[in-house]
Amino acid sequence: MSSVSTVLQSPTTLLLSLAGILICHKIVAVYQSIKGLNFHPGRFHFLSPAMVLSNFVLPKIRWIAAGRNHLHVEKYTEFERQGCSIYRTTSIWPRVQSVLVVADAGAIKEITSSRVRFPKPIELYGSLAFFGRNIVVSEGDEWKKYRKISAPAFSERNNKLVWDETVEIMEELFRDVWGYKESVTVDNALDITFQLALFVIGAAGFGKRMSWQDSKAPAPGHKLKFQDALHRVAVDILVKLAVPKWAIGLTERTRQAQLSFDELEKYMLEMIHERREGSSAERHDLFSNLVESNDLDAGPNVLKESELVANIFIFLIAGHETTANTLCFTLAFLALYQEEQEKLYNDVSSALPDGRRPGYEDRTKLNRFLAAIYETMRIITPVTNIPKCTAEDTTLTATNGQGEKVVIPVPKGTKIAVNAAGLHHNPQYWENPSEYKPDRFLGDYNRDAFLPFSGGARSCMGRKFSESEGVAALAMLVSRYKITVKEEPQFAHETFEQRRERVLNSRAGITVTPIRVPLVFTRRN
């Protein structure tokens, strides 16, 4: 009997021993990790906040998971709790790792300005190489090559084209879709801004005009229209990111996602050949500019077709979602804050007293519109986390709750999360940071504390593209229509704070995405 008991106990004893060894190993690893950061204050999670499960699926569970979209939700509250503008988060699974989360303007400027000391951890971006190597998934000399070819494509001529196309597309919306009605109700304004951004990218990005009522058939040799392929890719990008290659053909949904990517790639390759072999007519769309810039470079920087396709895709898809979501959130803010909307109306009425369409030359008279967009991006930061790592032993300087400077040792290989949402709500730089006050951006403000387009050499090259589109679209809308939140019986007794929370509710996507923004557009006299 005793021998049987011994045999039964042996596996249990072995498992307990292995578990004990594993736990001891983890404890030692955690101690060494936080010791390397001089025991800087922070918090612990069992699951890494970088994991999809922790950041996109699970709610916040103390000690277990940071929670869905946690950096956007928390903003600066965790920094206040930890008493410093930089805090540490240490996770155990899948491996022990400490990350420094940063919302200090000085430290962030140092991080984004020194690409050698604080490189981008490109291994985190490998899944974005849908069509090949591109500027987002590269670093070092490879990144310099892509930057050299791409930068000239974002020209002043392209910005003007963006503006002109946006104005025309908005006019078509008013005329062909809304029919100049006295009042138009939309259940979700994202449906409008998503299509708008798509059409602007089609025209100013690819040189292909689209229509709100397009009924054309697919081009010969294609299963999808260009417009539909671009639209589906924008919608299905998360499917493409989440589903491994071996599983992409298992369901109708994933097969359709793959089809849209295949069709868009085919269109882009055809367009490269068309630009090179077609007429010499001057074109200013982004795609043509990029092809021309590449063809003029006879040196080692010249890109292969796959690299041209990959880079133009990254620019356009990233810009599309950011612009569509930001414009939708801005409409929500203006509907909630009527006094701010009226300031915009007065400005555009003063700039265009004859009621004409806004021209690109009028943009400097419409600075308040850009301020309204900036304030939206400050409060609802499109990309909350900009990951970096350290290439050498270094230090960072933070500010504690008493306003004192704290020097933090940062060993080589440390992961860093530049928390733009925390930075944008740091009361050291922004008075009453949760309030919507576009006037902040009409005077002096700390530009190092505003990071919606990243910073340093890797800042977004499409910034002017996005800003031109946003200001032109807002100017057209506000000059013609008054924007209000749709009244719904089930929300009749909500407070302003409850209404704001509901209308600005969001989910995590490639960028922070509005869930439902129900608005009414009423024609102005």
Q: Which of 122-126, 315-319, 333-337 has the highest mean pLDDT?
A: 333-337
User: CATH code at 336?
Assistant: 1.10.630.10
Nearest-angstrom CA–CA distance, 17 and 13: 6
Q: Is residue 25 part of a domain?
A: no
Which residues contact residue 494 at a Cβ distance below 8 angstroms, ignoring those fewer than 6 apart?
A: 502
Q: Which residues are annotated as a binding site for heme?
A: 460
Q: How far apart are CA 120 and CA 102, in angstroms?
A: 15
Pairwise CA distance, residues 140 & 500, whole Å: 44
Q: What is the pTM of this model?
A: 0.92
| Residue numbering of the annotated binding site | 460
The C-alpha atoms of residue 194 and residue 210 are separated, in whole angstroms, by: 13
Q: What pLDDT, on the 0 to 100 scale, is given for residue 505? A: 96
Q: Which domain holds residue 355?
A: 140-383+452-523
In this prediction, residue 174 carries a pLDDT of: 97
Q: What is the amino acid identity at position 461?
A: M
Say if 84 falls within a structural domain: no
**Chain segment 74-100, per-residue pLDDT in tens:** 999 999 999 999 999 999 988 999 999
For position 478, what pLDDT does the model report?
A: 98
Question: Residue 232: which residues within 8 A CB-CB, separation 6 or more?
Answer: 224, 256, 257, 259, 260
Residue 2 in this model has a pLDDT that exceeds 80: no
Q: Which amino acid is at 123?
A: E
Confidence of residue 278 (pLDDT cuts 50, 70, 90): low
For 286-351, give the secondary structure using H, E and C: HHHHHHHHHHHCCCCCCCCHHHHHHHHHHHHHHHHHHHHHHHHHHHHHHHHCHHHHHHHHHHHHHH
pLDDT band at 258 (very low <50, low <70, confident <90, very high): very high
- The per-residue pLDDT for 282 is 66
Q: What is the pLDDT of residues 156-191, one digit of tens each?
A: 999 999 999 999 999 999 999 999 999 999 999 999
Instruction: Return d(Cα 272, Cα 343) in angstroms, integer.
Output: 45
**What's the confidence (pLDDT) of residue 330?**
98
Lowest mean per-residue pLDDT among 238-247, 253-262, 331-340: 238-247
Residue 298: per-residue pLDDT:
61
- Residue 195 in this model has a pLDDT that exceeds 60: yes
Indicate whether 63 belongs to any domain: no
Residue 398 confidence (pLDDT):
94
Q: Domain tally for the chain?
A: 1
Q: Inform me whether the pLDDT recorded for 378 exceeds 80.
A: yes
Whether residue 50 is contained in a domain is answered as no
The rounded distance, in Å, linking the Cα atoms of 43 and 423 is 19
Is residue 297 pLDDT above 50, yes or no?
Answer: yes
pLDDT value, residue 304: 84
Tokens 């699974």 locate to 93
The C-alpha atoms of residue 386 and residue 454 are separated, in whole angstroms, by: 7
In a domain, 111, yes or no: no
Residue 91: helix, strand or coil by DSSP?
strand
Look at residue 76 and tell me if it is in a domain. Answer: no
In this predicted structure, what is the pLDDT of residue 34? 93
- What is the pLDDT, as a whole number, of residue 8? 46
What pLDDT score does 26 carry?
86
